[in-house]
Amino acid sequence: MKTSGVHASDPAEHEFLESVLRLKPRVAAFDCDGTLWSGDAGETFFDWEVRGGIVSADVGTAMRARYAEYKAGKVSEDDMCGEMVTMHKGMTEAVMMTAASDFMAHVFPGKIFAEMQDLVIRLQENGCEVWAVSSSNEWVIRAGMKPFGIGEDKILATKVEIENGVITDRLIRVPSGPGKPKALREVVRKEIDTAFGNSRWDADMLAFARHGFAVNPNPDLEAVGRQRGWTVYFPDGTRG
């Protein structure tokens, strides 16, 4: 995995962990895809479930075409993230949780960053309230948070209303870009001491927190992070 440039001043693993823990944050917010693990679980799950027939062939075909429009810049990030959840209208949430758990445990090729897992666990042990904030669907993020010990009540992911266990197409939230601090304001209602993210869709959340950390950043977020004085950190295995 390539980075756009590692600076001599970038912290090593131990220094990074200690620099966060020294802040003694009371509330922390973490993006998931690319920040806690390598790869995009939401995007990969979408491809996997369409290929695997978890959604109907008609839905799969329509959503493939919609995704192509998104990649061509004709569909917004928020709309695409929302539609990748509302496409499951009429299915049961139990079916989706089973699929998401199977996917995260046995299919997803991403790799958890060990030091990020360690950080999340140590923060919680120190009494910090840790939130996972992601534009991926809530079912995948719920499954992905199990190794981090983050409960379902501390997850802010793309979410729809559920009626009698059945998924509707009524969106509750799409935490992407400005939607991330918006969700934190509406649900957490506390000052966010530290926030961690890897892409431009996390920049608003990092700016919203007292201390921003650009972790495994894409070149665009890395540039913003260095300009704003945020800590830039590349987990083990992502350098060079």
* 8 Å CB contact between 137 and 34: no
Nearest to 180, CA basis, from 129, 133, 236? 133
Per-residue confidence in pLDDT tens, the chain, 240 aa = 334 455 645 678 889 999 999 999 999 999 999 999 999 999 999 999 999 999 999 999 999 999 999 999 999 999 999 999 999 999 999 999 999 999 999 999 999 999 999 999 999 999 999 999 999 999 999 999 999 999 999 999 999 999 999 999 999 999 999 999 999 999 999 999 999 999 999 999 999 999 999 999 999 999 999 999 999 999 987 764
CA distance 240 to 137: 31
The dihedrals phi and psi of 155, each to the nearest 5 degrees, come to -115, 125
CA distance 12 to 42: 29
* pLDDT value, residue 164: 98
The dihedrals phi and psi of 52, each to the nearest 5 degrees, come to -85, -5
Domains (ranges, CATH) in the chain?
A: 13-233 (3.40.50.1000)
Sequence-separated (6 or more) residues with CB below 8 Å from residue 203: 177, 197, 221, 224
* pLDDT value, residue 2: 38
CA distance 110 to 124: 24
C-alpha distances (whole Å) from 52 to each of 82, 91, 229 are: 21, 15, 44
* 8 Å CB contact between 16 and 240: no
* pLDDT value, residue 1: 36
Nearest to 158, CA basis, from 172, 148, 145, 147? 172
